[in-house]
Amino acid sequence: IAGGGRVEIKNIGSVKDVEKALAYEVLRQKEAFLKGVSVRSETRHWDDVRKVTVPLRVKEEEQDYRYFPEADIPPIIITDDYIEKIAKCMPELPDERIKRFQREYGLPQYDASVLVSNKKLADFFEEAVKLYGGNPKKVANVIINDFLRWLHEKNMRISDVKTEPGDIAELLKLMDKGIISIKIAKEILPEMIVTGKKPKEIVREKGLLRISDEQVLKPIILRVFSKHKKAVHDALKDEKAINYLIGQVMKCTRGRADPVITRNIIVQLLEKIRKGENII
């Protein structure tokens, strides 16, 4: 009741008693209010037999408890500067990291969420981005589309991976320089994950370096011409048919042929055929 004291009720043993005690107190305090009597701050006893509350003791005021400082606990003063300092020491929360990945690395919300779903994965990504120095989106694509997909297929965890963030960065640099193709990169990534070998080491061992030497490519292309004469005839009339010949060269070299140089050589050879040279 407004203007009255706080009343506490003891000896309530069931939910039904709670309801009955409250109903009684409402009536009692309402009656006191209508008579102009202030409700005292007290502890009352629920009499389950008589179904009434009876006074038990008057509640003490706060000062009556005689509060005093704890001798073994020094006073702690918490300032705004202290709160700010502690806030800066707090670890970055997942939602905050997702937003930062979107802001700093230009990642879409989905990619950022996938990477941040595992702290070790997010740390791995950031270290790879730092060591790569190129477009962070490329790093995210390799990790999400190839790295993670392979882990899921093999039921592996991030902690099982032996490759380092720097190895992913090196793999991307090899592709950027044209030393290996995307196909080769996808081919060697599983071995990197399982063995921890460096990309260059695997490429050398397996002889997977991209072929960009015209003296090496030209004989291969001529063999393709001899084997696919109809495709050569089609390419003489329709430039789009050149793509089929490039595909056959890639097949012969297991994707190692430089596609730009391969196309240039094919165009040159087709021009010679148009001029009447017998090169097949």
Query: In 48-165, where do the E strands start and end?
Result: 52-58
3's CB contacts (< 8 A; 6+ apart) are 38, 39
Q: How confident is the model at residue 75 (pLDDT cuts 50, 70, 90)?
A: confident
Percent of the chain with pLDDT over 70: 96
Residue type, 42: E
pLDDT score, position 168 = 98
- Is pLDDT of 273 > 70? yes
pLDDT score, position 124 = 98
Q: How confident is the model at residue 1 (pLDDT cuts 50, 70, 90)?
A: low
Mean pLDDT, residues 158-175 taken together: 95
Please report the sign of the dihedral spanned by the C-alpha atoms of residue 127, residue 131, residue 136, residue 141: negative
Q: pLDDT tens across 185-194, in order?
A: 999 999 999 9
Is 249 in contact with 181 (CB distance < 8 Å)?
Answer: no
Q: What are phi and psi of 53, to 5 degrees?
A: -105, 145
Of 98, 106, 100, 115, nearest to 134 by C-alpha is: 106
Domains of the chain with CATH codes:
7-65 (no CATH), 94-206 (no CATH), 214-274 (1.10.10.410)
pLDDT score, position 60 = 61
Q: How confident is the model at residue 74 (pLDDT cuts 50, 70, 90)?
A: confident
User: In the numeric block, which tokens belong to residue 237?
Assistant: 């009339």
| 49 DSSP 8-state letter | T
- Is pLDDT of 150 > 90? yes
Q: pLDDT tens across 21-64, in order?
A: 999 999 999 998 888 888 888 999 999 999 999 999 887 665 55
Of 264, 239, 265, 262, nearest to 181 by C-alpha is: 262
- Is pLDDT of 218 > 90? yes
Residue type, 271: E
> Cβ of 181: how many Cβ atoms within 10 Å?
21
